[in-house]
Amino acid sequence: MSSNIDRRDILRGAGVGVVMAVLSGVEPGLAAPAGKEAAPGSANGATAGRAFSADQMITELVPGRLYRVGCVVKAERLSWLPQDLDGFEAVNSYVLTDKDNVVFFEMGLPIARPAMEQAVAKLVGNRRVYVDFTRNEADCIGNMGYVLGTCRNPTLLYGTAGGVLEWINDPHVSELEVRNFLGRVPIESAKNGETKKIGAMEFTWMDAGTKMMLMTQWAFEKSTGCLFTSESFGWRHIPTINSPVIVDTAASLPSAVTVAREMVARMNWMREAEYQPVIDRFVSIFKQYDVQMIAPVHGCVIKGREAVVAHVERAVEALKIASKLPDTERMQYA
């Protein structure tokens, strides 16, 4: 762990200001080092010699159609991971394109801003811009202000609940523009159960198979076979900062117990709970759709039917184990 500091201890119970400071790579209460701006592809957000993120990049997942946009961060920086997890985590956004349209799916943590800037510069052009997200939290919409504020005439696809304007605090967007976003940016429905064609792309939205936040969606894009799963399936990590962020094999999966521990670290309602209907519906989603790729907002992208099947089976095993894990919060007051 960097300098014996675990960012998960800092983030627990912290206010929004502290969380956003840490996610920006700056220690709470400290200013960023003067004159230090990391170029895309290099370590980013260095504070006192401790690099927070690296490998700001665009990765083509489906030629000409689907791209992963993001960076890599140290696991110790992330509050949703078990405290004893070392290594690194991919932080992801996704961009889908056809000849006339571009869809930003998840806009990612602010720490991945350099990669998002590259995506806007390289992939938008004269295309019509759409913006979609699975969940109203910073790891999904942290760069929404930048995308809405810099892209020409964007349209927001909206199917969940809750305000999103509190996250639109980008310096490219004035306060008056933020207040008027709901009147200025067109909004199109993307509710659970709806299917919408955007050019050559076809999206279907659904209630998330597993979730912590009530209003969390998954979305399936038919032309790529990609299922966007928000924080679910975020348990494939990488050992080094330069390791591939795409898993395309069924080999070397983490154990079901390891996956269960990660699940309950994020979705603590699972511990000591009975939720067989949740597991049954989870399985049914993968029977209903021809999922060829799983795209979580953090963790490795899972690519290929064989890899998808193996990871779904491991997730089901882990869901069953998670219900048997002790509820440590409850035990404190027993």
Q: Using an 8 Å Cβ cutoff, are 307 and 248 in contact?
A: yes
Distance of alpha carbon 101 from the chain centroid: 22
Q: Give the model's confidence band at 141: pLDDT under 50 very low, under 70 low, under 90 confident, else very high.
A: confident
The model's pLDDT over 186-236, given as tens digits with 9 standing for 90+, comes to: 889 999 999 999 999 999 999 999 999 888 999 999 999 999 999 999 999
Ordered domains of the chain (ranges, CATH)? 2-28+51-332 (3.60.15.10)
| C-alpha span between 57 and 12 (Å, rounded) | 29
Reply yes or no on whether the pLDDT at 289 is more than 90: yes
Specify whether the backbone of 305 is left (phi greater than 0), alpha (psi in -120 to 50) or beta.
alpha
Q: Give the model's confidence band at 298: pLDDT under 50 very low, under 70 low, under 90 confident, else very high.
A: very high
pLDDT at 76: 75
Q: Looking at 49-63, 154-168, 260-274, 308-322, which range is the least confident one?
A: 154-168
pLDDT at 328: 79
Q: Using an 8 Å Cβ cutoff, are 90 and 70 in contact?
A: yes
Average of pLDDT values for 257-283? 94
Distance of alpha carbon 316 from the chain centroid: 21
- Concatenated DSSP letters of 93-121: EEEEE-SSEEEEE----GGGHHHHHHHHH
pLDDT at 165: 54
The model's pLDDT over 230-268, given as tens digits with 9 standing for 90+, comes to: 999 999 999 988 899 999 999 999 999 999 999 998 898
Nearest Cα to Cα of residue 104 among 135, 56, 147, 159: 147
